[in-house]
Amino acid sequence: MTLLDTRSGVGSGSGGEPVRFPPRPRTPLGHLIMNVVLLGLLGAAVWSIIDLKINLATMIDGIDYAVAFLGRVVPLDFPPVQEILAMVGQTLAIVVCATVLSVLISVPVALLAARNTTINSVTRGGARVIIVLARALPELILAMFFLRIFGLGALAGILALGLHSVGMVGKLYADAIEELDPGPREAVRATGATGLQQLTGAILPRLGPALVATALHRFDINLRGSVILGFVGVGGIGLELAGALNTMNYRRGLALALILLVICLITELVSGLIRMALLGRASSRRSPLAWVRRLRDRADRSSGGWVSGSATAGALIPPAGAGGRVSPPWNAERIGRTGGYLLTAVVIGASLAGAQITPEQLAGGFQQALHVASLYLPPGLGGIGDKLFAAMVETVQMGLAGTLIGLVTAIPIGVLAARNVAPRPGIATFCRVIIVGVRAFPDLIIAICIVVITGLGPVAGALALSFGAVGFLSKIIADSIEETDVAVQDAVRSTGGGGLQVFGAATLRQAAPSVVAHVMHQLDVNVRGATNLGVVGAGGIGYYMTNANRVLNYPVVTSCLIMILVVILAIEALAIWVRRRVS
């Protein structure tokens, strides 16, 4: 028998001899600080829910209002088929052109931002600053600015969505470039290839599938973002939806919202199938870049020129002799790939034609760009500085409350959607269907419905953001649980642990770091989204910013923008710090 003095860490054996035990490991200071920060955020989120007066009674009252509201708007008033096709076509044209623009800008920016393609730290840092600023600037603010320059139409929406998308697309592209194996590039360099030849021969070809998959993912996001731009004058189905709601034609407005929901669901399913075809498998991975790595590996296996980092310069040279083939054969894979290129070119060409962008519009806009920019300077508070600061706090509260409500709701859905935890496969499939359906709803549409039912205010914005958080976080929770190490679970089970003990001690502990990291990401996204929801009366700084723009009080718009940038950059920096600590 061994007796232990827990204070000194010294025990005595059965013969009285002293036995020393290793001291209990201390929690690193960084993890302690991180835990304090997370608890502080949790407390702030709870305070936000209380301060915004989001409670069960409010939601129950909202159900009664919802039933009464649906009784007034049914049957829905759908526009003629020709009008629907025209609106949908213009919306898709804007989204396609914006996504293509973001890719064209993001590729060179990502090459400048990646460590393995840009040695100069100043250039690399400047490219990273561009990416961060593009992420921080809400597309609604960009749309307001470009509408003032180019007028009503598709061009302002294309530029707003395209430039804002660089923040996400450029970052993913830069991270994917940095993860490339240097072997193929070194092999090409050994043959005397120039920097441009190395880029086109050893970097871009291996990034091709990842570039396409990221662009498709951004297309889904831009489709949802295009709706909110209609409330400031950008064409498409969003503009018609805004007109219907502004005139209180709720039957037409909800009909358009339903059409948009169907479009979002279809495009998400189609783009998801394309991404899975590029990926070669349907399952996702915990790391945000894991799918990029699998796409790159798939490109390596099918490239035929280089396969791994051990490739040599000679492997890149086609075999000599008459039997050597320089170009690959026209097999089914090459024919399908070429058909995909042609179809993409046709879609882009049709989108450019549908956007109806004229050289005169571009030239006229660029001529007055400096004049319009001068209208926004210097920034001013317009005598409502206290209201603006209070609205900014309210915006952060909406993001915190929406994230916490979404997380609490997503936990049971995500757990039951994990195939290795769900009691039955049918339950997991059912929950996965729920997740896909929830993810198809744009936050703006949810906010509009809640505003109509419960009235104006931040409660509608917080609940709309929580709805979007449920779709994202429940999927992350399910995927993270499915990716846990089975051996750890078996070890706990072998000690006699029950189902709940195995889940808490092994499964949940493994999945927690990934879930925490993605919750911080969702908080970042929700605060950004909260700035946009003010356009439909959901409260926050977006409400004042939109009204200031409507009455041409541009200095106030600039002040709102500065406050939004400061808060968003601070939250993004905090989110990055937490994600690094838990990774």
d(CA 421, CA 80): 47
**Would you state the pLDDT for residue 548?**
87
Count of the separate structural domains present in the chain? 1
Least confident range of 13-17, 137-141, 453-457:
13-17
8 A C-beta contact, residue 84 and residue 259: yes
Q: Would you say residue 415 lies in a domain? A: no
Other C-beta atoms lying within 10 Å of the C-beta of residue 474:
27
Report for 83-87, 243-247, 323-327, 380-384: range of highest mean pLDDT? 83-87
Least confident range of 21-25, 435-439, 463-467, 530-534:
21-25
Q: Would you say residue 243 lies in a domain? A: yes
8 A C-beta contact, residue 103 and residue 211: yes
Q: What is the CA radius of gyration of the chain?
A: 27
- Going by pLDDT thresholds of 50, 70 and 90, the confidence category of residue 278 is low
Q: Would you say residue 4 lies in a domain? A: no
Long-range CB contacts for residues 16-19, cutoff 8 Å, separation at least 24: none
**CATH at residue 279:** 1.10.3720.10
User: Tokens for 17?
Assistant: 């001899």
**Would you state the pLDDT for residue 284?**
40
d(CA 443, CA 527): 12
**Would you state the pLDDT for residue 102?**
94
Q: Among residues 255, 283, 200, 235, which one has the least CA distance to residue 97?
A: 235
**Would you state the pLDDT for residue 489?**
66
Calculate mean pLDDT across residues 303-320: 41
Contact partners, residue 146, CB within 8 Å, separation at least 6: 155, 156, 159, 160, 365
Least confident range of 199-208, 288-297, 382-391:
288-297
What range defines the domain where residue 154 resides? Answer: 78-311+331-375
Q: Would you say residue 106 lies in a domain? A: yes
Q: Would you say residue 523 lies in a domain? A: no
pLDDT in tens, 515-571: 888 888 888 888 888 888 877 777 788 888 888 888 888 899 899 989 988 998 888
Average pLDDT over the chain reads 79
Give ∠ CA 491-492-497 in degrees, rounded to 5: 140
Calculate mean pLDDT across residues 97-121: 91
Is the pLDDT confidence value at 420 over 90?
no
**Would you state the pLDDT for residue 305?**
40
Q: Would you say residue 533 lies in a domain? A: no
- Going by pLDDT thresholds of 50, 70 and 90, the confidence category of residue 20 is low
Per DSSP, the three-state class of 103 is helix
Q: Would you say residue 484 lies in a domain? A: no
Characterize the bridge pairing of strands 10-12 and 18-20: antiparallel
Phi-psi region of 104 (alpha: psi -120 to 50; beta: other; left: phi over 0): alpha
pTM: 0.78
Is the pLDDT confidence value at 172 over 80?
yes
d(CA 501, CA 504): 5
Report helix, strand and coil shares of the chain as percent, to nearest 5: 75, 0, 20
Q: Would you say residue 394 lies in a domain? A: no
pLDDT in tens, 403-416: 999 999 999 998 88
